[in-house]
Amino acid sequence: MRIFSGIQPTGTKHLGNYIGAIRQYVVGQDRGEALYCIVDLHAITVAYDPAELRKSLYDLTALLLAAGLDPQRCILFRQGDVAEHSELCWLLCSVTELGRLQRMHQFRDKSVQQRELVSAGLLVYPVLQAADVLAYRAHEVPVGEDQREHLELMRDVARRFNARFGDGDEVLIVPEHRIPEVGARIMDLQDPTRKMSTTGGSEQGTVYVLDEPASIAKKIGSAVTDSGREIVRSPGKQGVSNLIEILAVASDRSPEQVEADMAQARGYGELKKAVTEAVVEMLAPVSERYAELRADEQALEDVLASGAARAREIAFQTLATVRERMGVGPARRAE
């Protein structure tokens, strides 16, 4: 089984990214052939600074390695290094409905945020994301809940391509998403009706993977809950539900187990203390490894370069078939 996921080299990664995505990447290395791509070409669809992009790319590479990605057990690479992604994106534009792209939630949300220019790249973003996965004929895509719509589009693009050009073959594989049951949508600690996010959330409500323990304690300690005392998940108790989910993942228990274990706790103070301890314990080793890895940019570049070479070998094959089926370029000789 082949696993593929992409992650943006923007901002600093937070607890939502870590729980919803990065942890699944690490596990994926033992479940199949795993490819993880840092998507610099997606990052340039909104206003950005080129020097900052390079820096963030190294930040994220070091963070992913610190979190447990192992270049011996997965292919970690930079999207812009493998030209097949861009080429397949263009080819797949022919089987993607324009109206559907215009209705995508992320396009609408991000368009509103752009002050100077709503780029065509922002509209085509989901097609590039489809190309990322389909170029590797991957079976499974670990992502957080917010990527559901993009995955649906990707599946439809693959189906439409196969129907139009497949001639009965599954040239492109229709991938499954893998959204974790717990922690697929970690909420902002200050406003638990909004997802934790680097761009949309509050600074106090966002725990970053590389935050110091004292800062983690402060943010979790001041998390918004409700006026009750009961430690149970329910739709009216979004803040508490969020803390229970975080604690469950960070301490390797089910949310039900956490609720049972906390039944005797005296109020939310105790819950917050338990969450803080578990989160600090989960993230501290990542911070420790990060500093050393980040310091050696040449080593990071070497990891990315060898990842790209391995990725290209796979994507090249798919592209040859796609081009052939679409009638692009010379016909391949039948052997």
Q: Which is nearer to ligand AMP, 21 or 304 (CB)?
A: 21
Binding status of residue 5 toward ligand TRP by CB under 6 A = yes
Q: What share of the chain is helix, strand, coil (3-state, %, to 5)?
A: 55, 10, 35
Q: Any idea what DSSP says for residue 179?
A: -
Binding status of residue 59 toward ligand TRP by CB under 6 A = no
Apex 325 CA angle, 320 and 330, nearest 5: 65
Q: Which stretch binds ligand TRP (CB under 6 A): 5-13, 181-189, 233-241, 320-328?
A: 5-13
Shortest distance (Å) from residue 161 CB to ligand TRP: 17
Where residue 330 falls (left for φ over 0; alpha for ψ -120 to 50; beta otherwise) is beta
By rule CB under 6 A, what string of x and - marks binding of each residue 18-57 to ligand TRP?
---------------------x--x---------------
Binding status of residue 241 toward ligand TRP by CB under 6 A = no
Place of tokens 């729980």: 19
Shortest distance (Å) from residue 210 CB to ligand TRP: 19
The correct pick among 38, 143, 173, 247 for binding ligand TRP (CB under 6 A) is 143
Q: Which is nearer to ligand TRP, 8 or 287 (CB)?
A: 8
Q: Any idea what DSSP says for residue 19?
A: I
149-208 binders of ligand TRP (CB under 6 A): 150
Q: Go through 107-117 and write b for each residue having 16 or more CB atoms within 10 A of its CB, e for each that does not.
A: beebeeeeeee
Q: Which is nearer to ligand AMP, 20 or 307 (CB)?
A: 20
The correct pick among 34, 60, 65, 133 for binding ligand TRP (CB under 6 A) is 133
Binding status of residue 80 toward ligand TRP by CB under 6 A = no
Q: Which of 245, 300, 282, 220 is nearest to 60 (CA)?
A: 300
The total of other beta-carbon atoms located within 10 Å of residue 287's CB is 17
- Judged by beta carbon distances under 5 to 8 A according to partner kind, the member of ligand AMP, ligand TRP, none in contact with residue 141 is ligand TRP
Shortest distance (Å) from residue 335 CB to ligand AMP: 41
Give the pair of three-digit tokens for residue 152: 């649906």
Q: How far is CA 258 from CA 5, 180, 205, 218, 261, in A?
A: 30, 17, 22, 22, 5
CA distance 201 to 4: 27
Q: Which stretch binds ligand TRP (CB under 6 A): 68-76, 116-124, 139-147, 155-163?
A: 139-147
Contacts with ligand AMP, residue ranges (CB under 6 A): 7-8, 16-17, 19-21, 143-144, 146-147, 184-186, 195-197
CA distance 176 to 174: 7
Binding status of residue 140 toward ligand TRP by CB under 6 A = no
E strand or H helix at 25: helix 23-31
With a CB cutoff of 8 Å and minimum separation 6, the contacts of 82 are: 135, 308, 311, 312, 315
Q: Which is nearer to ligand TRP, 197 or 276 (CB)?
A: 197
Task: Give contact residues for ligand TRP (rule: CB under 6 A).
Answer: 4-8, 39, 42, 129, 132-133, 141, 143, 147, 150
